[in-house]
Structures are given as structure tokens and as C-alpha cells.
Structure 1
Amino acid sequence: MDLRTRIALIGLGSDSRRDDGVGWAVVDAVRERAVERPLPPEVDLATCDGESARLVGLWHDADLAVVVTSTHAYPGEPGRVVRGEFRADGTAPAVRGEPHSRVLSEAVELSRLLGRLPGRLVVYAVQGADSSLGAGLSPTLAAVVEPLAGCVEREFVREWAQEAAAGPCPP
């Protein structure tokens, strides 16, 4: 019997649509940070381009799944991070303007029906400024990547230690 806590970090979006790639950039930042402070083997880092079934496969046996994605709300506040947590019954957090909310909703519903919801599902949605075709984040979102990677790592610590970690993260 495996008693280790499995954690999945999933960057949701597209790295070919500028700020829509913020989730992928956070996954890359966590991976780079792991060079100096290795993550335990039960932490899976992945990206997803918006396929609901793929999300289900990435998080289905996780104790904690953290999804980082972009949002484009109007009026916009580029760089603003909103944290939401799905409830045990699979109902979604209120993350307005999130372009992948349909994907998340479909994946949560499918997971619920299949009995494959993660123990906890946390979503970080970052308001972007530019979703045009092209690579690279806008300067505003590029500045959010490292602090958000730290917040994601503290989610891991909370799961492992079952206690709040030090340092402020978005509510």
C-alpha cells in the first residue's frame, strides 16, 4: 500500500498565445527551482492545452491538484491572481472571465462521474493582457511567474504538512 501524497501541478493554456501560457511558465519555474531544491518523486508537473479528458488523466489519483491558468476579464487588471478551490462535491470556484472555465467544469464533472476527483483541487487564475498569437508572456505576467511558483510550492507544503505555510499568497 502506497501512503505517499501524490500532487499534480498542471499548467493549463497555450504557450503559443502569449499570456495564455502563464500556467506553462509557472510549471517551468517550479521545475527550474527543483534543480536546487528537488521535489519529491510524488509531485508530477504537466501542461495541458485544454483537453478536459487529459485534465482528468493528469489529476485523477492526486491528493492535491493545482491548476494554473490565465484569465481575461473586463475591465482587466493584468497580473492579478485569483485563487479558487473546488469543493469536495466538485462545484467550481467563482473565477470570472476564465477562458478555460468550460474545460475545468467539464473535467470536474467527468471526474465526479468517474469517481476520479482529486482530494483537493486548487486553481490559480492570472489575468492576462495579451492573448494574441506568439510566444512569450507580457512583462506584467512575466513578473508574476516567480512569486506564483512560490505560492504553488507552498500549496505542496500545506498538503504535506497539513498546516499553513509562511508568506502571503492570493486569497
Structure 2
Amino acid sequence: MGRSARTAVIGVGNDFRRDDGVGWAVIDRLRERPLARHTVLATCDGDPGRLIGLWEGAGLAVVVDAAHAHPSTPGRVHRLALDAGRLPGPSATSSHGLGLGEAVELARLLGLLPQRLVVYAVEGADSDFGTGLSPAVAAAVPELVAAVESEIADAGRGAARRRPS
């Protein structure tokens, strides 16, 4: 499988910190869906080294993570696409100490970025200890699943166009 064939979908967060588990909830839903053959689903706690390892060599990496925003609209989804090796400055930040931006910058310096990186950041309402998403964030999960499926399908169509006849 070539570099551009694999798609990595990574749910970032902590399933035991309420809305911080939104990435994991999306991965759980995607595990129930028929996806393109070279799609790899994974969860991660947000550690930059683990993120880089999960997306290394991928043609497309899609990351779903909870975010903090001020002012916040719980359940609002932000889509950020990698542009020239850097993510644009988001209006929301990762809910983790070292953010996704640091992982992207480190991967860029090491030459380990995927060919394309798309991030879905979901504004959360509750990151207290406990399980289960707040109603607003739970309501965003089906939209996120559909959006990720669309990203995977678009990547598949792009790979098909690049194949020699």
C-alpha cells in the first residue's frame, strides 16, 4: 500500500472526561460503518508522539477532537485543513495541554506529516470527570460521522483519479 492509499482517522481525547470523549465517540460510530479498505481507525489521548505515529505515511489523516472556545457554543464544529504544513489559527483550542498545533509543527519539522490533514474540532460544554457526552456535543456526533465519511470518500475518488489507466 503506497503512501497515498492509507487514510487514518484519529479520535483524540479522554473517554472519561465527558465531552473530551467526542473523538472516541465518532470512532466508535465509524467502526459500525463500511469504510474504504485502507482506512485505519484509532483513538489517542492527544500525545504529539502518538498522533504523529498514527498519521505517519497516510495520504489523508482526519482528526476529531474536543475544543475550548471563548465564548463557547457547545456542539459547534470547526473544520481546519492543513495548509502548506501549518494549521490556520483556530478560534478554538485543543482541550489538551500540548495542542494539535504542536504535533503538526513537530511532524512538519520531522517530515512526518500526512499528505493531507483535516481536523474537526468540536466545542465542548463539560470536561469534568465522568462518561457520556453533553446533549449538544452528542447531537454533533452524527454530523461528524457523515463529514468524516465524506472526507474518506473524497480521498478515495482522488486516489482513483491518480491511478494509471
TM-score (norm 2): 0.89
How much is the aligned-residue C-alpha RMSD, in angstroms? Answer: 1.8
Identical columns (%): 54
Match of 1:95 in 2: 90
Partner of 1:168: none
What displacement does 1:160 show?
1.0
Q: What secondary structure does 2:16 align onto?
A: coil
TM-score w.r.t. length of structure 1: 0.86
Q: Residues 92 and 121 of structure 2 are in contact (CA less than 8 Å); yes or no, is this contact kept in structure 1?
A: no
Establish whether residue 108 from structure 1 lines up as the match of residue 111 from structure 2: no
Question: Could you tell me which amino acid in structure 2 is paired with residue 29 of structure 1?
Answer: R
The alpha carbon displacement at 1:97 in A equals 2.8
Unpaired segments ≥5 residues, structure 2: 160-165
Which residue of structure 2 lines up, in the alignment, with residue 124 of structure 1? Answer: 120
What residue in structure 2 maps to residue 169 of structure 1? none
Distance 2:3 2:139 in 1: 37
Moved over 3 A (4+): 1-4
CA distance in 1, matches of 2:87, 2:4: 27
In 2, are the aligned partners of 1:68 and 1:123 still within 8 Å (CA)?
yes
How much has 1:162 moved relative to structure 2? 3.0
What is residue 7 of structure 2 aligned with on the other side?
A: 7
| Alignment-mate amino acid for residue 97 of structure 1 | A
Structure 1 residue corresponding to 2:72, chosen from 69, 76, 85? 76
Shift of 1:101: 8.0
Aligned in 2, Cα 1:114/1:4: closer, same or farther, shift over 3 Å? closer
